[in-house]
Amino acid sequence: MRIKKVLEKLGLSSREALVYKAILELGAGGAQQIALKAGLPKSTTYDVLKKLSKKGLVNIYLKGKKKHFSAQDPEILRDKIKQQAELLDKFLPDLQAIYNVRAIKPKVRFYEGKEGVGVVIREILKQAKELLAIGSAEEIFTKLDDYFPDFAKRRAQKKIPLRVILRESAKAEERRKLGPQELRQVKIIKSQIEFKSLVWLWQNKLAMVTLGDDLMVVVIESKDIADTWKAMFEGLWRG
141-191 residue pLDDT tens: 777 776 677 888 899 999 999 999 998 888 888 888 888 888 999 999 887
Q: Where in the chain is the domain with CATH 1.10.10.10?
A: 2-74
The amino acid sitting at 193 is I
Q: Where in the chain is the domain with CATH 3.30.870.10?
A: 108-238
Taking the mean position of all CA atoms in its chain, how far away is CA 109?
13
Q: What does the alpha-carbon distance between residue 147 and residue 145 come to, in Å, rounded to a whole number?
A: 5
103-139 residue pLDDT tens: 556 589 998 888 888 889 999 999 999 999 998 888 8
pLDDT band at 214 (very low <50, low <70, confident <90, very high): confident
- For 60, the enclosing helix (H) or strand (E) is strand 58-63
Q: At what angle do helices 14-26 and 31-38 cross, to 10 degrees?
A: 110
* CATH code of domain 2-74: 1.10.10.10
pLDDT band at 36 (very low <50, low <70, confident <90, very high): very high
pLDDT score at 163: 95
Cα-based angle 169, 172, 176 (whole degrees, multiple of 5): 140
Q: What does the alpha-carbon distance between residue 232 and residue 239 come to, in Å, rounded to a whole number?
A: 11
Q: CATH topology for 108-238?
A: Endonuclease; Chain A (3.30.870)
Q: Cα–Cα distances in Å, from 211 out to 8, 89, 141, 151, 230?
A: 36, 38, 10, 17, 21
Q: What does the alpha-carbon distance between residue 37 and residue 232 come to, in Å, rounded to a whole number?
A: 67
